[in-house]
Amino acid sequence: MEKRILFFGSQITIGGAQRVLLDQALWFRQHGYSVSVAFYYDKDSLLEDWQKKVPFSIRVIGSYQKGKPVHNFFGLIKGFFHLCRFIRKEEPSVIECFTHDADLIGLTAAWICHVPGRFGSHHGRFHGLSGKKMSLHTKVINSSITDKIICVSERAKNQALEEGIRADKIIVIPNGIPLIDPNPDTRKIKRLEIGLTDSNFAVFNVGRLVPEKAQNLLIEAAAQVTALRPEARFFIAGEGPFHDALQTQIIQKSLQDKVKLLGARTDIPELLQAADLFVLFSETEGMPISLMEAMAAGLPVIASALEGMSELIEDNISGRLIPFGNVPKLAETILQLIDHPELRMNLGMNAKQTIRDSFTIEKSCQIYEKVFFGGDSSIN
């Protein structure tokens, strides 16, 4: 019998969970599985672009419009029935859902349609999640609707436990990423594209523009760094509701020529090759794909000293860990790395080796394969 997998996400947007979904779908397809991919709605109108880049169809089953609760309520009901019809048509033997919203919709539909393997996922806590929705999510995961929930890090596991999810429902499978070797021509092209000269030192951040990603603190640090090293440039790739507030902060600090918001990008692995340093100073993370991509590219990295980050970074060996919120320490560390190229090189080399040794898409998906089809539910 053909093994079919349905990967279901809540929204098409630039984010770590979406990247994991597509990478997993591609890996399983390349390894002989029948793959289906569906999202509830296309938040950032990226469907057409994404469809050109993957060898499988992506289905959108619903719609959402901000500020229109009545439309969204009836749209949710309609989308749910569309998903049920899609599941019955595809007849997957396994469904994996990504994010809390996708778990609620997808796992319930899969249970109704008698999908044999039903797996949710936990990529970290989101500040916008209401208490009622989190409580409902916990009930769905703890019930017979869900077989297991896959947490991408020990931090995500601890957050799931704090939400009341039963320990016997949880499996920890670290994220993995495809490996891409840096290309000098790509670096040159991307640096020219964003206005960098050979004398500029480029600091990059990638993430949704939301409060928990704390790009405002990176901008605070940028003001301190550029006052002493005017050749430094800071770039933030991503989109989200915090955009206008960040742009206002940049203007208020007269950093328009020093800090740039790049918007949503679909070329992150290539874009990172233009960087000299990567910083992710978030308040909360599971196991961030953007940080892993930067490490895989051989970049020196600075991150918040959080559990999810420390699973990837050994401080002073494969990167630097800074207590969250300590902006002076962040600025001091950036300046140190600007001034010490040999230290940057050593941190970058060790970061790259960490990913190659432990966090490739191959290693990650081999574990998923055992969990989905090998009857191995003991991994924790």
If the chain, 380 residues long, is cut into consecutive pieces of 10 residues, what is the mean pLDDT of each piece?
89 87 95 95 90 93 87 90 96 95 96 97 76 92 97 90 96 90 91 95 95 96 98 95 96 97 89 96 88 95 90 95 97 98 97 95 95 63
DSSP bridge pairs for 149 = 120, 170
Structure tokens at 219: 């901008």
CB 301 within 8 A of CB 278: yes
DSSP bridge pairs for 172 = 151
Look at residue 128 in the predicted model and tell me its pLDDT.
65
Residues 6+ apart with CB under 8 A from 192: none
Residues 6+ apart with CB under 8 A from 143: none
Any idea what DSSP says for residue 202? Answer: E
Look at residue 379 in the predicted model and tell me its pLDDT.
39
Parts of the chain belonging to CATH 3.40.50.2000: 4-176+360-373, 184-358
Closest CA to 28 of 95, 124, 114, 91: 95
The 10 Å Cβ neighbour count of residue 375 is 8
Q: What is the pTM of this model?
A: 0.84
Q: Where are the alpha helices (DSSP H) in the chain?
A: 16-30, 47-53, 69-90, 100-102, 108-112, 131-142, 154-162, 184-193, 215-228, 243-252, 268-271, 289-296, 307-310, 327-339, 341-358, 361-373
CB 186 within 8 A of CB 216: no
CB 296 within 8 A of CB 289: no
**Sign of the four-CA dihedral 254, 257, 259, 261:** positive
The 10 Å Cβ neighbour count of residue 212 is 16
Look at residue 375 in the predicted model and tell me its pLDDT.
54
Q: Which CATH architecture has domain 4-176+360-373?
A: 3-Layer(aba) Sandwich (3.40)
Count the alpha carbons within 13 Å of 301 in the hemisphere toward its beta carbon: 35
Q: Does domain 184-358 have CATH number 3.40.50.2000?
A: yes
Residues 6+ apart with CB under 8 A from 49: 266
Look at residue 188 in the predicted model and tell me its pLDDT.
95
Distance CA 94, CA 115 (A): 6
Count the alpha carbons within 13 Å of 266 in the hemisphere toward its beta carbon: 14
Closest CA to 236 of 211, 212, 216: 216
Q: Among all chains, which residue has been given the structure tokens 């991150």?
A: 303
CB 128 within 8 A of CB 99: no
